[in-house]
Chains A and B, each alone.
Chain A
Amino acid sequence: MDISVGRPILRGTLPMRLVIFLMILLLQGCGLVIDAVQLVRPLTTDEVQAICARRKVQVGIAVEPFRPFVFPATFTDEGLRVTGLDVELIQELTSALSKHCGNEPIVPVLHLVRYRDLFVLLNESKLDLFVSATSANVPVPGRSGLAYSTPYFYDGGIGGIVAGSEVRERVWAQLRGQSAKPYEPAALRQALAGLTVAVQQGTSAQFYAEAHLSGIKLVLCDSLPAAFESQDPVIDVILGRQPVLHYIVTFVRKSWQQLMSDGQRPLLLTQEHYAVVMAEENYALRRFVNGVLFRLHESGRLAEMRQRWFEETYAYPRRAATEGLPFAAENMAQHYDQGACRIVPGR
């Protein structure tokens, strides 16, 4: 059979070369060229396959301790470790990824950075995902390009704690003295009016306070420990993730007390669900994470994890040593510093 009938295009006549040249010119911009090539031969696979290929998943965790979701980085017999509910969740996700990738072990590479920097690193594609008790439902202005998984922790919310019983009684008296229910924004505004209220910068508590709580002296802190230590100004109320605040007043700073709505239940300013955060366009990864969370939920494993970290008595250094995840020092913020607090002008 004669196979020399056809002539290769690139060896074509001058007009043919001209046509190809003009076609390339017509594809204005590199993006179009890449799109055209991808139509013929896709260059990239989805993000889950990309993780399988590199055998590593880049995971962000807040360096500020959000006990018991994330405990402070600890030195153990095995080296540097971090532990907590969120870390256990990362292990579950990694284990599921390893199975999905044909039982090839997928290594979680942890980046311990300031909470607010997690969003930056994700936008810069340096992370595949991050897990740090991040609210999936409190609207945050200016935070685009992100997507949240289905929640792994329901029944969170923004709560408050106070340093002394005097402030607590004052808030409680204000709430009781009003016709509105304690959870009504107007009642909360009235109850907290005139108080110095600290929130951690970049958290949902900040955005909630800015949107709803006029009349307070708002203080932005780099971390919760900074709010506790602040002397100038002295903080009356700290608003933040209620489960974290509950853990802190129970185990760490017992002189602080939770704001209660009726003497029985903690006062919630709004409800929150915590979710895994990924890039908006990473649909395959989000589907994968949602699938894992669904199975963990249905099997009762999520409830078990919550029980382990919220109900049991334990010391985190021990859990860090036995089940914590390692991280490289270079992937941690140079040194965790609790930072400072600043009054927001004009409030």
Chain B
Amino acid sequence: MKTVWMRLAVGAVMTCVVECATVGWTWAVERAEAEETARLLAKLLQSGRLVIEQNQTLIDDPHRGDKGFTPEVFEQQLIREFRQRTGIDLSAMDRTPPSILLPPLARQLLSALVQASKEVVNDAQVVINQRGIGYKNFIPATYGSQTAARFSKRSHVQLKQTTLQPRNPKNDPDEYEASVLRWLAGRPRSEAYVSELTEEGRTLRVVMPIYYVKDCLKCHGEPKGELDISGYPKEGAKEGDLAGAISVTAPLQTGR
């Protein structure tokens, strides 16, 4: 029977302790590392989205040609945002000893995600630096979709933005994601995320919710159904409503 085990994550160490009682130490460590890696990947993608959001006015400025929002500038801001949210300094990863808080797998994959993010910002330069054009559709959602897709192509870990009513059909939730999103939608806003083993313990699923903030409501707020600047009908959302989630799918080698 398929094991269904859902919990609100309160820390990878606790996971280890609970699991070690019933299964082998190796598996528990692997799961804990995978879970922490997935959590950090979701946080990093979220940080990137925030950096884009913070620079939205600059990106959409029609009076400025070269915005100076280069991949390098983006990377610095991304590292700063990620450090504020996790306490981990990506620029000092080489000098930080391995630990449960920054597992070896996470080091490798976080670097890959930073690289994918920079590439997306780099590819967008021709659009971002257009002078005389305001809205360019380089927004947190499009940045996130492109970055997640690029990262997932190169990694065994799959990263995705998803929501119950996606504007981009590629962000359609699968059955598992839809059930978690529905569950999250009925709960108050929280920093917690959902972690679960599926496929008899062979796959780890982590879903980190994203909530609407004030800036999002220009396109996703009210009046519901009115077309926003990009041509999509507004969702009629309010600040603090569940916007969607970042979903991470990681295969575990050992299995249960």
Contact = CB atoms under 8 A, between A and B. Distances in A.
Name the 10 nearest CB pairs between A and B, nearest first: A315-B231, A338-B132, A225-B132, A318-B231, A335-B129, A317-B230, A75-B138, A77-B145, A336-B130, A317-B137
Q: Which among B126, B141, B230, B232 has the highest number of chain A CB atoms within 10 Å?
A: B126
Given A315-B229, A317-B230, A318-B231, A336 B136 contact: no
Interface of B: 62-63, 65-66, 123-133, 135-138, 141-142, 145-146, 168, 170-171, 227-232
A223 B132 contact: yes
Interface of A: 65, 72-77, 79-80, 223, 225-226, 229, 313-321, 329, 332, 334-338
Contacts of B232: 315, 318
13 contacts: A65-B133, A74-B136, A79-B146, A225-B131, A315-B228, A315-B229, A315-B230, A315-B232, A317-B137, A320-B137, A335-B125, A335-B129, A336-B126
Nearest to B66: A335
Given A77-B142, A319-B231, A336-B130, A329 B136 contact: no
Contacts of A79: 123, 146
Nearest to B138: A75
A335 B126 contact: yes
B56 to A, nearest CB: 13
Given A318-B231, A329-B126, A229 B135 contact: no
A80 B141 CA distance: 14
B230 A336 contact: no
Contact of B125 (A74, A223, A329): A329
B123 A336 contact: no
Contacts of A74: 127, 136-137
B125 A77 contact: no
A73 B130 contact: yes
Main secondary structure of the interface of A (DSSP, over half): mixed
B148 to A, nearest CB: 10
A332 B132 CA distance: 16
B205 to A, nearest CB: 23
Q: Which among B137, B138, B145 has the highest number of chain A CB atoms within 10 Å?
A: B137
Nearest to A335: B129
Contacts of B171: 77
Nearest to A315: B231
Contacts of A314: 231
A302 B177 CA distance: 43
A179 to B, nearest CB: 41
Contacts of A319: 231
A80 B133 CA distance: 15
Nearest to A228: B132
A271 B126 CA distance: 35
B167 to A, nearest CB: 8
B132 to A, nearest CB: 3
B142 to A, nearest CB: 5
Contacts of A225: 62, 131-133
A211 to B, nearest CB: 28
Given A75-B138, A335-B126, A336-B132, 19 more contacts: A75-B124, A75-B137, A75-B142, A76-B142, A77-B141, A77-B142, A77-B168, A225-B133, A229-B63, A315-B227, A317-B135, A317-B137, A329-B123, A334-B126, A335-B129, A336-B129, A337-B131, A338-B132, A338-B133
A72 B133 contact: yes
A336 B133 contact: yes
A71 to B, nearest CB: 9
B123 A80 contact: yes
A164 B126 CA distance: 34
Contacts of B123: 79-80, 329
Q: Which among A75, A76, A225, A337 has the highest number of chain B CB atoms within 10 Å?
A: A75
B124 A80 contact: yes
Contacts of B137: 74-76, 317, 320-321
A66 B179 CA distance: 45
Contact of A73 (B126, B227, B230): B126
Contacts of B145: 77
Contacts of A320: 137
Contacts of A77: 141-142, 145-146, 168, 170-171
A223 B133 CA distance: 12
Contacts of A223: 132
